[in-house]
Amino acid sequence: MSFFHRGRPRRLTPLIAGAATAVLGLAALTGCGSDAGGEVSASGAAKVKLGVIPIIDIAPVKLGISKGVFARHKLTVTTQDAQGGAAIVPAVVSGDFQFGYSNLVSLLVAREKGVPVTMVSVGARASENAMKDGSGQLMTADPGIAKVGDLKGKKIAINTLKGINEVAVASVLQKNGLKTSDVTLVEVPIPNMPAALKAGQVDAAMLSEPFITIAQGQGAKPLPVSYAAMGANLPFAGWFTSKQYAAKNPDVVKRFSAALKESLQYAQEHPDEARAALNGYLKLDPGLSDKVTLPGWNPEAGRTEIAPLAQLTVDTGLIGSTRPLDELFAR
């Protein structure tokens, strides 16, 4: 995967070029086959590898692994970082990962293209505050950008095109009389975004925690462009598997779903432990994890709750109809 944007290609600055190299490495990694996943250990536990994004959203799973939740459901779980849903989807379909975490937009786009993926569980929800969303918040360090209208002609960093962040930006731009073509969308890994903002290489960036808090510490401020701006408590991401794996391993999928639900509920009820879990998979300054804004982790959601996001994806032009939503929930 390389850096690109809607419109004419631009020369990459060193920081962005370095980030692009990191993404290319991730893409190459997820393209390599693996025979380890899906095996059964000596204890009878199924070995599963998860494709994840190193952001706040996956804290419940990391917490569940450390608390032995997955082990109690006879699952031996390992995780591997990836750039975003667009990179994780093909790795799940190829069998490199047995399960993956992705924003729902990337899954809808994949289903419309006939990619055989199916939902296992909702993974996270938006907040109720368009200016304070821990999973998706547009931040800027440019003092000349005070409102959405000021974004015209600016460069905005998102982790992947054709995903939730493109829809989040496009939907709010439209509400404010702008089009996606009025801005330049550039792919940047989320962990690199605070540095890109500080260096002035991008004018705004769609961040997730803990990188929102890091950017704020460097002087960035939020704009009302977020997942919450698309809908309060909107389910925006989830855990999925391939239809082939689900058909061949229904019991493993059932156990994984149960372990997920337990882990998500535990994180929802123990926010301090969820914040502390960040330190287990990210190198953060002392005390930073205590400040992050958490997403909602209620896993109960169906087609009706996700339908508004599917319609926004249609409105953005990434899919032609909401039909992929039905296909996503079909086994």
Domains 24-128+234-329 and 130-230 share a fold: yes
Between 300 and 126, the more confident residue is 126
Taking the C-alpha atoms of residue 204 and residue 69, their distance in angstroms, rounded to an integer, is: 39
**Which CATH superfamily hosts domain 24-128+234-329?**
Periplasmic binding protein-like II (3.40.190.10)
Confidence band, pLDDT 50/70/90 cuts, at residue 304: confident
Q: What is the pLDDT of residue 301?
A: 67
Taking the C-alpha atoms of residue 306 and residue 296, their distance in angstroms, rounded to an integer, is: 15
Q: What is the pLDDT of residue 125?
A: 92
Contact 133, 127 (CB under 8 A): yes
pLDDT digits (tens, 9 = 90+) for 19-55: 333 333 333 333 333 334 556 665 679 999 999 999 9
Name which of 134-143, 202-211, 283-292, 293-302 the model is least confident about. Answer: 293-302
Contact 116, 242 (CB under 8 A): yes
Identify any residues that bridge with 52 across adjacent strands, giving them in sequence order: 81
Reply yes or no on domain 130-230 having CATH 3.40.190.10.
yes
Q: Return the structure tokens found at 273.
A: 């432990």
Report the share of the chain in percent with pLDDT over 70.
86
pLDDT above 50: residue 18: no
Contact 24, 2 (CB under 8 A): yes
pLDDT digits (tens, 9 = 90+) for 237-275: 999 999 999 999 999 999 999 999 999 999 999 999 999
pLDDT above 80: residue 97: yes
pLDDT digits (tens, 9 = 90+) for 195-246: 999 999 999 999 999 999 999 999 999 999 999 999 999 999 999 999 999 9
CB within 8 Å of 169: residues ≥ 6 apart: 138, 156, 158, 180, 183, 185, 206, 225
Q: In the chain, where are the structural domains located?
A: 24-128+234-329, 130-230
Q: What is the pLDDT of residue 40?
A: 64
Stretch 99-126: mean pLDDT: 95
| Sequence-distant contacts of 170-174: CB under 8 A, at least 24 apart | 170/315, 170/316, 171/229, 171/230, 171/312, 171/315, 171/316, 172/148, 172/224, 172/225, 172/229, 172/230, 173/148, 173/225, 174/315
Confidence band, pLDDT 50/70/90 cuts, at residue 308: very high
